[in-house]
Amino acid sequence: MHDDGYKNITNIDISKPCIDQMQQRRPELKYQVLDATDMRCFQTGQFDFALDKSTIDALCCSDHAHLDISKILKEVQRVLKPGGLYIIVSFGVPVERTLFF
């Protein structure tokens, strides 16, 4: 996205080593170690677009998958501007993932 002209990109991950590694690869982007189920550091309606690259997949394996995924969806809805776009990239088959929506 950055290479295509989008310059104001904020990346989050719960893993500090992941963030550190990505920051070394692409220092021009913004990074934050953050749990996506609790994004209080971001304002309501702050973002135009949210991209979930397998976060939902990772949470599907947790003991509290429905609760954790529900929290993420609520937070994404809150931080997106009205009309904002949320795209989920998942390796799960639709019949297994749509249960969470």
Q: What is the pLDDT along the chain (101 residues), one digit of tens a residue?
A: 999 999 899 999 999 999 999 999 999 999 999 999 999 999 999 999 999 999 999 999 889 999 999 999 999 999 999 999 999 999 988 888 888 88
Structure tokens at 9: 């990109």
* φ, ψ dihedrals at 4, nearest 5°: -95, 10
Q: How many domains does the chain have?
A: 2
83 and 46 share one domain: yes
Question: In terms of domains, do 45 and 83 share one?
Answer: yes
Q: Closest by alpha carbon to 29, among 5, 11, 50?
A: 11
- Tell whether 29 and 52 lie within a shared domain: no
The answer to whether 48 and 84 have CB atoms below 8 angstroms apart is: yes
Q: Is 93 found in the same domain as 70?
A: yes
pLDDT for res 97: 87
Q: Are residues 27 and 65 in the same domain?
A: no
| 47 shares a domain with 9 | no
Examine the domain organization and report whether 61 and 82 are in the same domain.
yes
Encoding tokens for residue 67?
A: 């609760």
pLDDT value, residue 68: 95
Q: What does the block give as tokens for 82? A: 């009205």
**66 and 24 in one domain?**
no
Range of the domain at 47: 41-101
Q: What is the pTM of this model?
A: 0.90
